[in-house]
Amino acid sequence: MSLTTDAFERIRDAIVSGGLEFGEPLSETQIAVALGMSKAPVRAAFIELRDKGLVNIVPQSGTYVFSPTADDVKTMSRFRALLENEAMREAHRQRPEIVLSRLDDAIAAMRKVIAAKDWEGYRRADSAFHLAFLEESGNRYLLKAYHLTSAALEALRVRLQRGVGNFREQSFREHCEIAELLRAGKVDEAAALLNFHILIINESLHTFPLNPNKGSRKDKADDRDYAVVFAVEASPRRSA
């Protein structure tokens, strides 16, 4: 793995998991120190993260964790729903046994990590469930388009799971039901539930700190202890 790839994955995971906050400024120098590398791979990682919609690079100002508006969230979630609905139908049509096996594996992993209260593990299993549709659809362009917004939406869903009462439990039940509907050949019903499952985020936008307040710690990257952020983010990766 290259240093740029390592930096990209570590920073991406910190953003998605909530270790780094929406709108937070990022110090290239201090992140490089925390990751034990030079600034060059961190700078290159920032560019990749920008292309994935996870950071904003502002000339003469700095690099900031993305901070989506409510309209951004609605647009991204509708885009994802369209792509994933088509991918699910194609995957079920072309490789029904393979996709169902992958869904079953993801659900088994979810059940295990829920029992252990391993929420980073749940995030990975949740992602694996949805990627099964894209990767088994037989259409690489669907998968490429999906990756344009998948990490940003995953970051939002992680925060939703933390902030809304039984959201994680509801999410798990919906995963199970989608798989069972597909197993029964009820593709239209599975698609309707998948659509609801993805778009529910739009009903909970009031729970997200989409526009961080100015004048807070978020405005001062120098105050951030990145060694702590990346030590925490590294733990699940080592145990995966």
Q: Give 116's DSSP letter.
A: T
pLDDT band at residue 222 under the 50/70/90 scheme:
low
Whether 216 shows a pLDDT value over 60: the answer reads no
Cβ(119)–Cβ(171) under 8 Å?
no
Give the span between the Cα atoms of 124 and 117, in whole angstroms. Answer: 13
Residue of 83, 191, 76 lying closest to 137 (CA atoms): 83
| Residue 165, pLDDT score | 55
Q: What is the largest CA-CA distance in the chain?
A: 57
Whether 169 shows a pLDDT value over 70: the answer reads yes
Cβ(27)–Cβ(222) under 8 Å?
yes
| Residue 214, pLDDT score | 40
Whether 147 shows a pLDDT value over 50: the answer reads yes
For the chain, how many residues are written? 240
CA atoms 86, 123, 213, 58: torsion sign: negative
Q: Give 221's DSSP letter.
A: G
**Which domains occur in the chain, in start order?**
3-67+211-239 (1.10.10.10), 70-207 (1.20.120.530)
The upper half-sphere exposure of residue 36, i.e. CA atoms within 13 Å in the direction of its Cβ, equals 5
Give the span between the Cα atoms of 3 and 74, in whole angstroms. Answer: 34
| Site of tokens 């490429």 | 144
The radius of gyration of the chain from alpha carbons, rounded to an integer in Å, stands at: 18
Whether 64 shows a pLDDT value over 50: the answer reads yes
Residue type at 164?
Answer: V
pLDDT band at residue 219 under the 50/70/90 scheme:
low
For Cα atoms 82, 85, 87, give the angle at the middle one, nearest 5 degrees: 105
Supply the mean pLDDT for the chain.
Answer: 87
CB atoms within 10 A of CB 41: 18
Q: Report the pLDDT averaged over residues 129-154.
A: 92
| Residue 138, pLDDT score | 94
Give the span between the Cα atoms of 18 and 236, in whole angstroms. Answer: 14
The set of residues, in sequence order, having a beta carbon less than 8 Å from that of 118 and lying 6+ positions away, is: 236
Give the span between the Cα atoms of 178 and 193, in whole angstroms. Answer: 7
User: 113-131, pLDDT tens digit by residue?
Assistant: 999 988 888 889 999 999 9
Whether 110 shows a pLDDT value over 80: the answer reads yes
pLDDT band at residue 240 under the 50/70/90 scheme:
very low
Give the span between the Cα atoms of 115 and 63, in whole angstroms. Answer: 38
